[in-house]
Chains A and B, each alone.
Chain A
Amino acid sequence: MRKLPLYRYSYFFIGATLALLSILPIFMGSYYTHIFILILLYAYLGSSWNILGGYGGQFSFGHATFLGLGAYTSTILFMRFGISPWIGMLLGGVLSMIVGIFIGFICFRYGLKGPFFALATLAFAEMFRVTALNVPFTGKAMGILITIKGTSFPAFQFQEKIYYYYIILAFNVFIVFVTHLIEKSKLGDYLEAIKEDEDAAEALGIDTLKYKVMAISISSFLTALGGTFYAQYLFYIDPDICFGVHNSIEIFIRPILGGLGTVYGPFLGSLILGPLSEVTRGLLGGYSGMHLMLFGAVLVVVVIFLPKGVVGFFEKKIGYSR
C-alpha cells in the first residue's frame, strides 16, 4: 500500500494541517478567506478528477460537464421549485453520475484511450455548454442568478464567508477519506494496473471496462457536489462559467502539479497554484486571464520535468520509492 513519503509522521502531519486549516479563518480577513475557499474548492474538484485521471490514468478534459451538471441541477431545482440546494446537490450528483457512466461506458467500450478519450470528454463538455446556451430552462446565455435570502442553512446561503470555508473544508476531509478508501481497496489496485498497462491488466482477467466506468462514476458524482458549492458560493451561473473549457483545465491542472494518483497531490497543487495565480493577477493586473498564462507555463514545465508532480519530487528527494 502506498503511504505518505514521511509515513511515520503522516498522521501527525495530517492532524496538524487539519488543525491549522480549522483555526486559520479566525486570523484571516474576508479576502484571504475567499482565496482559501477557492484553494479548497479546486483541491476538492481536483481530488474528484484524480480518482479517474490520477489513479485510473484516464485524462478527462471535460470535467466541467460534471461541475456544470451539479451547479445547474441544484440551482434550477432551488429557483424553480424551491427545493433545498442540499437535496439538489445529491440529485445533481446522481444525474452527473448517470451522465458520467454513459460517457465512460461508450468511450471505454469503443476503446478510446489517452488523448482521444481526452478530446471526446472535451467535446461532451462543449455539447453541454452549447445546450445550456440554447435551452430556455437554463436561462440561456443570461444564466441564472440565485436569489439571496440571507444566512440560511437550508438554502445553502451564508452572508459570512467563514461558513463556506468550513463546508468546503469538510468536503475536503470527506474526499481525502474516500480517496484513501479507494487506494486501499481492490478498485485502487485494479485502477493502478490499468494505468500501468491496460493490455496486461486485461490479460490478467481484470474487467477493465467495469473498473474504469466505476472510477468515472465516483469521480463524476463527487465533482457535481463541488459544482453545487460553486453555484451557491458565486450566487450566479451561466453556461461559460460552468461548462467552459477553462473550468476543465482548472480542475485537472492541480492534481497534475501536485502529483497524479496521490491522496494529497491535488490539495498540494491547489495550495501552490492558488496564491501564485493571485499574485500574478495582482502584479500584471488589468487582464483577468493572466493566471491562465501562468497555468500554461506550469503545465509545460511540470509535464516535462516533474512527471510525478510535487509529491513525486519530494518522495525522490528523501529517497522514498514506491
Chain B
Amino acid sequence: MLCNALVSGLLMGGVYASVAIGLTLIFGVMNIINFAHGSFMMLGMYVAYWLFIWPGLPPYISLFASFLVLFFLGAIIHKFIIRHSSDGQNVLLITLGIMLFLDNLAAFLWTPDYRSIEIPAFSKSFFIGYLAINIPRLIAFIFAVLLTVGLYIFLKTTITGKSIRAISDSIEGAQSVGINIRRISLISFAIGAGCVGAAGAVVTPFHSISPSVGLVFVIIAFVVVVLGGMGNFWGTFFGGLIVGLGESLGAMYLPGSLQQFFIYFIFILILLFRPQGILGGKRA
C-alpha cells in the first residue's frame, strides 16, 4: 500500500513538474505570475482530445500540435496583452482575466462536461512484485524528465536560451549587450505556454478533460514553483515530486479532501518563511 502510494505520488509529481516548468520559465524571465497557465494546459488537453476524436491521433503524437497551438496563442497573448503592462500586480490581474475568459469560452464552446480519452493499449498497468505502475502515468513522468532536461539544454546551449538566462539575471545587463528584451520575453512566454500545452496533451489518457481543469492545476503549479524557488528549474522538478508525494500520502492518511488543505498550508508557509524556495531560486 505505502509503496504503491509512493510510486503513484512520484509519477503524479512528474506531471505537476511538467506543468510548473513553463510557469517557472515565464516567472524567471519576466517576473510574471501567469494565472492563465492552467487555462493553457486546458486548451492543450482539448487539442489532444479533438485530434483523438478526429482523425484519431493518440495524445503522444498530438502533443506536438498542442505545443504549437499554445506556442502561437502564447505569443499572441504576450504581443497584444501582456506586453502592455509591467507592474506585477497588474499582470496578475490581466492573466487572471485571460484565465476567466478562456475557461468560460471553453465551457461555452464545448460544454462544461467532463470528457475522457480511452486508449485500451495505454490504460494498462504493469506490476513489479506488488507494485502497480500505470503506463500512461509512467510516460507522463518520462515526458516531464525529458522536458526538464530538454529545456535545460536549450537554455544552456542555444543563443536564445542564453539570452533568456541573461534577462533573468539582469534586464539592464542584457539590454546593454544588445539583447532584444521584448522579443526574448515573447519567445519565453510562448515556450512556457507551449510546454504546458504539451503537458496537457500528455495527461489526457489518465485525467478527465473539462474547462475548469486549469484552475486545479494552476494552483498546484504555483505551489510547486514557490516550493522549488521561483525561476529555478531543478528546484521546480523536485518541487513537483514533493507535492505529488505529499498529496498521495495525504490522501492515504487524511479523510476526504483534507490533503488539499495541507498543500495550501505548505504553500503559505513557504511564501512566508522561505520565499527563495527549498533549493534557493532567483530571489535568493
A interface list, Cβ under 8 A from B: 59, 61, 106-107, 110, 112, 114-116, 118-120, 122-124, 126-127, 130-131, 133-134, 245, 249, 256, 284, 287, 289-290, 292-293, 295-300, 303-304, 307
The chain B residue with its CB closest to the CB of A124 is B268
B182 at the interface (CB under 8 A from A): no
Find chain A residues with CB under 8 A from B89 CB: 59, 114-115, 118
B264 at the interface (CB under 8 A from A): yes
B258 at the interface (CB under 8 A from A): yes
B97 at the interface (CB under 8 A from A): yes
Cross-chain contact A296 with B256 (CB below 8 angstroms): no
Cross-chain contact B93 with A303 (CB below 8 angstroms): yes
The answer for the CA separation of A59 and B84 in the assembled complex, in Å, is 20
B160 at the interface (CB under 8 A from A): no
B108 at the interface (CB under 8 A from A): yes
Find chain B residues with CB under 8 A from A300 CB: 81, 94, 97-98, 101
Interface string of B245-284 (1 = CB under 8 A from A): 0000000000111101100110110011101000000000
What is the CB-to-nearest-CB distance from B91 to chain A, in angstroms, rounded to a whole number? 8
Interface string of B106-138 (1 = CB under 8 A from A): 011001100000000000000000000000000
What is the CB-to-nearest-CB distance from A292 to chain B, in angstroms, rounded to a whole number? 5
Give the residue among A119, A284, A292, A296 with the most B Cβ atoms within 10 A: A296
The answer for the CA separation of A61 and B218 in the assembled complex, in Å, is 15
Find chain A residues with CB under 8 A from B33 CB: 115, 119
The answer for the CA separation of A293 and B281 in the assembled complex, in Å, is 35
B92 at the interface (CB under 8 A from A): yes
Say whether, besides A126-B219, A127-B265, A116 and B260 are in contact (CB < 8 Å). no
Find chain A residues with CB under 8 A from B93 CB: 59, 256, 299, 303
Find chain A residues with CB under 8 A from B111 CB: 287
What is the CB-to-nearest-CB distance from B259 to chain A, in angstroms, rounded to a whole number? 9
List 7 A-B pairs, minimum CB-CB distance, nearest first. A296-B100, A299-B97, A296-B101, A293-B104, A300-B97, A123-B264, A110-B272
Interface band, chain B = 35 or more
B105 at the interface (CB under 8 A from A): yes
B180 at the interface (CB under 8 A from A): no
Cross-chain contact B97 with A303 (CB below 8 angstroms): yes
Q: Can you list 5 A-B contacts (CB < 8 A)?
A: A59-B89, A123-B271, A126-B264, A127-B264, A249-B100
Q: A106-B272, A115-B89, A297-B101 are in contact. List 4 more A-B contacts (CB 8 A).
A: A110-B272, A110-B273, A127-B261, A300-B101
Cross-chain contact A134 with B94 (CB below 8 angstroms): no
The answer for the CA separation of A284 and B222 in the assembled complex, in Å, is 33
B85 at the interface (CB under 8 A from A): yes
B175 at the interface (CB under 8 A from A): no
Cross-chain contact B84 with A290 (CB below 8 angstroms): no
Find chain B residues with CB under 8 A from A298 CB: 97
Cross-chain contact A116 with B275 (CB below 8 angstroms): yes
What is the CB-to-nearest-CB distance from A242 to chain B, in angstroms, rounded to a whole number? 16
Find chain B residues with CB under 8 A from A296 CB: 96-102, 104
B12 at the interface (CB under 8 A from A): no
Cross-chain contact B88 with A303 (CB below 8 angstroms): no
The answer for the CA separation of A34 and B258 in the assembled complex, in Å, is 36
Report which of B219, B256, B257, B268 forms a contact with A120, defined as CB distance below 8 A: B268
The answer for the CA separation of A92 and B84 in the assembled complex, in Å, is 41
The chain B residue with its CB closest to the CB of A112 is B271
B215 at the interface (CB under 8 A from A): yes
Cross-chain contact B112 with A287 (CB below 8 angstroms): yes
Find chain A residues with CB under 8 A from B258 CB: 130, 134
What is the CB-to-nearest-CB distance from B182 to chain A, in angstroms, rounded to a whole number? 16
The answer for the CA separation of A133 and B264 in the assembled complex, in Å, is 15
Find chain B residues with CB under 8 A from A120 CB: 267-268, 271-272
Find chain B residues with CB under 8 A from A287 CB: 104, 107-108, 111-112
What is the CB-to-nearest-CB distance from B264 to chain A, in angstroms, rounded to a whole number? 4
B90 at the interface (CB under 8 A from A): yes
Find chain A residues with CB under 8 A from B94 CB: 299-300, 303-304
The answer for the CA separation of A130 and B219 in the assembled complex, in Å, is 14
Say whether, besides A119-B33, A307-B90, A292 and B268 are in contact (CB < 8 Å). no
Cross-chain contact B97 with A115 (CB below 8 angstroms): no
Chain B 67-92 interface residues, beta-carbon cutoff 8 Å to A: 81, 84-85, 87-92
The answer for the CA separation of A303 and B92 in the assembled complex, in Å, is 10
Find chain B residues with CB under 8 A from A303 CB: 85, 90, 93-94, 97
Find chain A residues with CB under 8 A from B87 CB: 114
Cross-chain contact B215 with A245 (CB below 8 angstroms): yes
Find chain A residues with CB under 8 A from B255 CB: 134
Cross-chain contact B257 with A130 (CB below 8 angstroms): yes
The chain A residue with its CB closest to the CB of B87 is A114
Give the residue among A115, A133, A298 with the most B Cβ atoms within 10 A: A115
Say whether, besides A130-B257, A289-B107, A304-B94, A299 and B100 are in contact (CB < 8 Å). yes
Say whether, besides A106-B272, A293-B104, A299-B93, A119 and B222 are in contact (CB < 8 Å). yes
Say whether, besides A112-B271, A114-B89, A289-B107, A130 and B100 are in contact (CB < 8 Å). no
Find chain B residues with CB under 8 A from A289 CB: 103-104, 107-108, 112
Say whether, besides A118-B92, A296-B98, A112 and B84 are in contact (CB < 8 Å). no
Cross-chain contact A293 with B105 (CB below 8 angstroms): yes
The answer for the CA separation of A295 and B96 in the assembled complex, in Å, is 10
Find chain B residues with CB under 8 A from A124 CB: 264, 268
What is the CB-to-nearest-CB distance from A19 to chain B, in angstroms, rounded to a whole number? 35
Cross-chain contact B256 with A115 (CB below 8 angstroms): no
Find chain A residues with CB under 8 A from B102 CB: 296
The answer for the CA separation of A120 and B100 in the assembled complex, in Å, is 20
